[in-house]
């Protein structure tokens, strides 16, 4: 899960903090800050990307139009998260892409699979498990869905992540065959259009230069919470040149 910089409430032309008559009016400002990606699964979306309430609006009407309560979410993450987060305590029990090093606890693997990274810190492990229970990012196709939802293809996050993984692997092969500035720029353009920053960062873990460029290419990546990279995103010893 990509660490993002949502930033403080936008201001108007006179430098006064904006009030939103409707929470949906915050959408273009959030996209400007963080790109048109789901804040949770990292899928790239255009029309279907929605303003997500961190603490659900039904139980917290006073937060319905508050910038501090906003992120961006795809339909699948929005639906899976539902009303699980209501109180301030519910928030602190989980990890969030705009405040935490969320990618520390998620491992992206071949075929678009995702798993939780084992951590020794008991408190962090509990928050990671609560985050996963909230979002279901490690789900395989069909997990947790009704037969009707499966027929409708209600949760395509794994499918899209797998497609991004395959695209990233192909791009890495192209780069190994011809490592030129032009090829690198094309790869970054494809990555931006495809989404799934964590997938690209993992596939290119043996290329620190590309990882840095990916952080710059994906708008709103909070680089200050990316480095130092967690072990599963670093070049493995067997990948390092001898000497």
Q: Please tell me whether residue 221 adopts helix, strand or coil conformation.
A: strand
Q: CB under 8 Å to 174, separation ≥6 — which residues? A: 183, 187
Judge whether 65 lies within some domain: yes
Judge whether 106 lies within some domain: yes
Judge whether 3 lies within some domain: no
Judge whether 185 lies within some domain: yes
Model pTM score: 0.90
H helices within the chain, ranges in order? 27-34, 75-81, 88-92, 122-135, 147-152, 157-177, 181-194, 197-203, 208-217
**pLDDT at residue 14, as a whole number:** 83
Extract the tokens encoding 26. 């915050």
* Spatial distance between the Cα atoms of 195 and 164, rounded to a whole number of angstroms: 7
**pLDDT at residue 172, as a whole number:** 97
Domains held by the chain: number: 1
Across the 243 residues of the chain, what is the mean pLDDT of every consecutive 10-residue run? 96 87 96 97 91 94 96 94 95 97 93 92 96 91 55 73 96 96 97 96 96 97 95 69 35
**pLDDT at residue 17, as a whole number:** 87
**pLDDT at residue 28, as a whole number:** 96
Judge whether 214 lies within some domain: yes
Judge whether 157 lies within some domain: yes
**pLDDT at residue 145, as a whole number:** 52
- Domain that residue 164 falls in: 23-239
């Amino acid at each position: 899960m990509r660490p993002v910089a949502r930033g403080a409430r936008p201001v108007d032309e006179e430098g006064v903090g904006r009030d939103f008559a409707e929470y949906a009016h915050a959408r273009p400002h959030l996209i400007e800050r963080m790109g048109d990606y789901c804040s949770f699964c990292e899928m790239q979306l255009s029309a279907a990307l929605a303003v997500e309430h961190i603490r659900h609006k039904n139980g917290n009407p006073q937060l319905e139009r508050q910038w501090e309560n906003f992120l961006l979410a795809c339909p699948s993450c929005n639906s899976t998260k539902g009303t699980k987060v209501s109180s301030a305590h519910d928030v602190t029990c989980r990890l969030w892409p705009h405040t935490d090093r969320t990618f520390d606890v998620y491992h992206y693997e071949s075929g678009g699979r995702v798993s939780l990274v084992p951590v020794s810190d008991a408190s962090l492990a509990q928050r990671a498990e609560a985050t996963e229970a909230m979002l279901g990012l490690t789900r395989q196709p069909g997990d947790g869905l009704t037969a009707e939802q499966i027929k409708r293809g209600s949760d395509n996050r794994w499918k899209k992540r797998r497609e991004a993984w395959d695209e990233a692997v192909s791009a890495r092969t192209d780069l190994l065959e011809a490592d030129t500035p032009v090829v690198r720029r094309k790869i970054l353009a494809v990555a931006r259009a495809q989404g799934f920053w964590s997938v690209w960062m993992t596939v290119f873990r043996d290329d620190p230069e590309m990882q840095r460029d990916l952080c710059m290419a994906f708008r709103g990546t909070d680089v200050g919470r990316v480095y130092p990279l967690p072990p599963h995103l670093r070049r493995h010893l067997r990948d390092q040149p001898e000497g």
